[in-house]
Amino acid sequence: MSEVLLSVDQVTMQFGGVTALDNVSLHINKGEILGLIGPNGAGKTTCFNVITGVYAPTSGTVTFDDKSLLGLKRFQITKRGIARTFQNIRLFPDMSAVENVMVGVDAHSKTSVVGAILGIPRSRREETESRERAHELLKFIGIDEYAEVAARNLPYGHQRRLEIARALGTNPKLLCLDEPAAGFNPAEKQELNELILKIRDQGYTVLLIEHDMNVVMKISDRIAVLDFGRKIAEGLPHEIRDNPDVIAAYLGVPDDAA
């Protein structure tokens, strides 16, 4: 029996009179790729934001590794073992690729700000280890040759990969990818598929939001579907592909017509 890593239980998220999530429950098992899909405005990113601490849910619970995440700040959730990327790339544009990844690695640094300024031995040792780990991650995602290039000067696809490397730098138990294939051509999407599977095979658990159904269907172990803030389906890829409620949500037709 699979071990549950993250559980979202009856979560509702309201903004004024708008209900972005309506009594949503789902879970992610350790070592799997869960695809979270739905039409525009379905509540996918809101769900991500609740899981990662951007929003506190109006009601419901989020449990990670058998501990509640409610009330924790984003940096505390990162330290617990959840990392994410964003729909719109959020890198430090003037920093090199390796420095961007070091920001993620340093999330677990034990040196104080004063110690870093004074350059105490532990600070120097941690910086060396951080840089080595950053290079390992850049090599893992395939862009180590660009380690010293400023993030702003990297090709778009490499910037996407760099953001994933930075997230991996926090040593997460759960990696949340928000639209990682956005703007990719077919060849780049295939390379991304291979990278995400490679990440899963390294022991990471992945939560994936993605509009491209070919990407989702090819690499997800299970898929959950949101529509207008409610979960309308959950199951294996072939079950979701043939589900009439899912077809209706995407095509905008009644269930009996789908």
Residue 36: name the closest of 250, 231, 254, 243 by CA: 231
Tell me what the mean pLDDT of segment 134-148 comes to: 96
Is residue 22's pLDDT more than 80?
yes
* All structural domains of the chain with their residue ranges: 1-81+172-258, 93-169
Phi, psi of 43 (to 5 degrees): 110, 10
Q: What are phi and psi of 3, to 5 degrees?
A: -95, 125
Return mean pLDDT, the chain.
Answer: 90
The whole model's pTM is what? 0.88
Average the pLDDT over 22-46 and give the result. 95
Give the model confidence (pLDDT) of 87-134 as tens digits.
Answer: 888 899 999 999 999 999 987 655 544 344 445 565 567 788 999 999
Which CATH entry fits the domain spanning 1-81+172-258: 3.40.50.720, 3.40.50.150, 3.40.50.970, 3.40.50.300? Answer: 3.40.50.300
Of residues 71, 86, 66, 58, the one with CA closest to residue 6: 66
Q: For residue 254, name the pLDDT band (cuts at 50, 70, 90).
A: low
Residues 155-167 have a mean pLDDT of: 96
More confident residue, 113 or 139: 139
Q: What is the pLDDT of residues 61-80, one digit of tens each?
A: 999 999 999 999 999 999 99
